[in-house]
Structures are given as C-alpha cells and as structure tokens.
Amino acid sequence: MPQNVLVICYNGKPDKRQGVWKKVAEHPHTAWLQSDRLRDYEVERWISSYIADFSSQHPDITIDPKIVPILADHLGTDLSAIVGALQKLIDGRPDGVHTIDAALVERNIGISKDYNIIELQTALIRGDIAKANRIANYFANSKDHPMIREMAPLLNFFSNLLMYHYMPVKSKETVAKELGINPFFVRDYEMAAKRYSAGKTFLIIGYLRDTDARLKGINNPSAKDADLWKELIYKIMH
C-alpha cells in the first residue's frame, strides 16, 4: 500500500546476487541502508559522537577526552557492548558527579586508570622508561591486554606523529583536522615530536611492525609477550 512504510531489518550481510535482494534494490520506492561493523580505528570517534549526542540532551554530562581512547581500546567494535558500557558509566555516576573520568571507568568497568594503553603512550612521550616498562609488564601478565591488540593504538600514534613532522602548518586546529583527533591530544604530538625526530619515528614504526610479525610467529620461535614488550620499549626509547 502506498501509504505504508515497511522496514526490513536483516541481521547479517545479504547476498545481493540473490533474486530477492535484486528486486528490493531495483524497486523505485525503496531505500537501502547497510550498517557495517565498525573498524577498530572508527570506535574512538563513534564513542565521542555518542557522548556528544547524549550531552546535547543532558548538558551536565561530559567525558574526559583521555578516557575515550582507553574505552575504544578495551571495548572492541561491538556497538551493543559499547553502548551498554557507556550507559553503565552514565547510570553509575555517584550523586554530584557529572564527568565520566578514569576513576569512574575503573570502578564501573574495571579498566585500570594507571595501567592502560594511554598511560603507556604518555610514558613513551615523556621518556619515562620506568613507567613504560611497569605498564608493559602489567600487560604481559594480564589476559585482558593481549599484546597484538595493544600494539594497534601505538602504531596509529606513531604513524600520526610521522605525518605531524611533515605538516607545513601545525596549529592545533589544523593538526586535529588532518589527523582526525580531538584537539585535546594535539599537545601529545607536540611533545612527542620534540623527543622523537622524523627519522626516529620512522624507525619506531618499523619496530612496531616487526614486533607485530613476531607475535604472529614470523622469525620468533620462542619469545614471549614479556620479552617482546621489553625489547620494544627499549628500542623505542633508545
């Protein structure tokens, strides 16, 4: 009936070669929306967008920008799990608490405010060898922090840092736009660029890729995560 709207929700990836899907796609009065699973690098932006939409209706609720990449790293790409965790944080706030911060995340979700990938990244930026090794050792002995997963944010950061080195304009607004990051994190790149030259950054990216290959069994007959973390931290910071 022309006055009706029929919505078909299909959980899965349709085979558009099948006749039924061809008919749907070719019908003049249909609209097709395919919602694919988020990629790892899209989760952080999605969480920020979700919180921004929520805050537009509840202006008293904000989120510490430093928490977003930690949540993205920990929660994966399952939107239902992400939304459930965010709602748990929102509903689990004590009276008078309006900001979702590290302490709230640790209390409600169990992500340590001291031992997470952002704290490791910060230690590398500041040249804090002791703290970097302490966090890496914690990761190596925790089933919740598989090395192959924790490597991805580091590779993304140093890849962005290499781009930052060659940007002709390094204003906060330009860097945030070009790298697709929250302006809050531009300071991290400014600090990291002073410690790691473009040449060193290029080498670090190579170290990260080599470690990733060794984690997958290439040229690595016996080294464990703890050994690989120790070697990687040493190479990055020396």
Average pLDDT, the chain: 87
At 49-72, the pLDDT tens digits run 888 888 888 888 888 888 888 888
Higher pLDDT, 6 or 168: 168
Q: Quick check: 90 and 50 in contact, CB under 8 A?
A: no
Residue 41 has pLDDT above 80, yes or no: no
Residue 74 has pLDDT above 90, yes or no: no
Q: Which two tokens stand for residue 13?
A: 């990836």
pLDDT number for residue 105:
85
DSSP 8-state symbol, 216: T
pLDDT number for residue 233:
94
In the three-class reduction of DSSP (H, G, I as helix; E, B as strand; rest coil), residue 56 is classed as helix
Distance of CA 169 to the CA centre of its chain: 25
Segment of 13-22, 113-122, 197-206, 208-217 carrying the highest mean pLDDT: 197-206
Q: Whole-angstrom Cα distance, residue 219 to residue 188? A: 33
Q: Quick check: 185 and 44 in contact, CB under 8 A?
A: no
pLDDT number for residue 216:
85
Residues whose CB falls within 8 Å of the CB of residue 16, separated by 6 or more in sequence, listed in order: 22, 25
Residue 132 has pLDDT above 90, yes or no: yes
Query: CATH 1.10.8 in the chain, residues?
Result: 40-109
pLDDT number for residue 28:
79
Rg (CA), the chain: 22
Query: CATH 1.20.272.10 in the chain, residues?
Result: 127-237
Return the CATH class of domain 127-237.
Answer: mainly alpha
Residue written as token pair 């300071």: 187
Distance of CA 110 to the CA centre of its chain: 17
Residue 91 has pLDDT above 80, yes or no: yes
In the three-class reduction of DSSP (H, G, I as helix; E, B as strand; rest coil), residue 95 is classed as coil
Largest Cα separation within the chain, whole Å, is 71
Assess if CATH 2.40.50 describes domain 40-109. Answer: no
Predicted TM-score (pTM) of the model is 0.75
